[in-house]
Amino acid sequence: MKTMVPTWWVIFTSLAGLLLGQGLVWSYMSAQVERERLGLEKAKTVIELRARMNELLIDISKFQANTPLREQHYREYRANIANYNALERNLAPLENRHATEVDFEAMLPTPPPVDLKVE
């Protein structure tokens, strides 16, 4: 006595064996996992760069507020500005935007006039 296997069962098992046996589904899933891992690495890098930029902004603001300190440590002040702008150039492509260089010295208030005579 022969048992007849339905045609749809043969087609279904053939397709299932093709997809699962050759690893098409598994390779697709591993590619998705890798894409998510890279996204997390990118987010981690952005957070680290932002934290470093915030530290530099705090240092720069200390120099901005104190003119004698800025004059004494001018090289450190300029290095902090250069580091901040370099971090901005590295961060901009990660956030899919254009880098904007900040000119901190242009933001300094103008010094008061010396020997001003009022008549």
Q: Give the model confidence (pLDDT) of 38-73 as tens digits.
A: 999 999 999 999 999 999 999 888 887 777 887 788
Spatial distance between the Cα atoms of 19 and 25, rounded to a whole number of angstroms: 6
112 occurs within a structural domain: no
CA dihedral (77, 78, 79, 80) in degrees, to 10, reads: 50
Average pLDDT over residues 96-106: 85
83 occurs within a structural domain: yes
Q: What count of residues does the chain have?
A: 119
37 occurs within a structural domain: no
Residue that the structure tokens 């690495």 belong to: 41
31 occurs within a structural domain: no
27 occurs within a structural domain: no
Name the domain count of the chain: 1
What angle in degrees, to the nearest 10, is found between the helix axes of 24-65 and 7-21?
A: 40
Per-residue pLDDT tens digits for 1-31: 566 777 777 787 877 776 666 666 677 888 8
Q: Supply the pLDDT for residue 2.
A: 66
76 occurs within a structural domain: yes
87 occurs within a structural domain: yes
67 occurs within a structural domain: yes
3-class SS of residue 119 = coil
Spatial distance between the Cα atoms of 38 and 66, rounded to a whole number of angstroms: 43
- Close Cβ partners of 26 (under 8 Å, ≥ 6 residues apart): 20
Residue 66 domain boundaries: 48-107
Q: What is the pTM assigned to this prediction?
A: 0.65
CB 63 within 8 A of CB 28: no
